[in-house]
Amino acid sequence: MRTSMKQKEKGFTFFEILVVITIIGLLAALVGPRLWDKISGAKQKAAKMQIEMFGTALDAFRLDIGRYPASEEGLKALREKPSNADNWSGPYLPKEIPVDPWKNAYVYKSPGEHGDYEIVSYGADKVEGGDGENQDVVSWKDVGK
């Protein structure tokens, strides 16, 4: 009787562990790529939301000063008063200028080719153009278009 109790208490067999590892591997292979696509899309959406936040702050700056910050002043003008901005009522952003989800600075240009200003994140590859996570996120069009 004692011998059979000790055999049952030994734990998992090698075969059982192998089956569990195989199941975990299959789940990772099936779920992993889908999860990675969701993360990539989330970064694109986060960049677009930050750009929209900048747009709101830039509009408030324009209401006070009568113009958007020049390219040389950049987004920094939303936190620190430019020398030629007498009616500046900032800071227009509650925190420091954030970097994009890929840890790069946003590119700001005013006047822009697509409007009064442009804000661009070049995505994961840090260069103009690209698809997927490398796609640029810009102030003048929606993500994924």
| Cα 58–Cα 110–Cα 131 angle in degrees, nearest 5 | 90
Count of structural domains, the chain: 1
In a domain, 133, yes or no: yes
List the domain range (segments joined by +) for residue 106: 13-138
Domain membership of residue 7 (yes or no) is no
Q: In angstroms, rounded to a whole number, what is the distance separating the alpha carbons of residues 22 and 17?
A: 9
- Please list the pLDDT of the chain residue by residue as tens digits (145 residues): 555 555 556 677 888 888 888 888 888 877 777 766 666 678 888 999 999 999 999 999 999 999 999 999 999 999 999 988 888 988 999 999 999 999 999 999 999 898 899 999 998 888 888 777 788 899 987 654 4
Note the pTM of the prediction, 2 decimals.
Answer: 0.69
AA letter at 52: E
CATH of the domain at 60: 3.30.700.10
Whether 2 maps to a domain, the answer reads no
Distance CA 99, CA 102 (A): 8
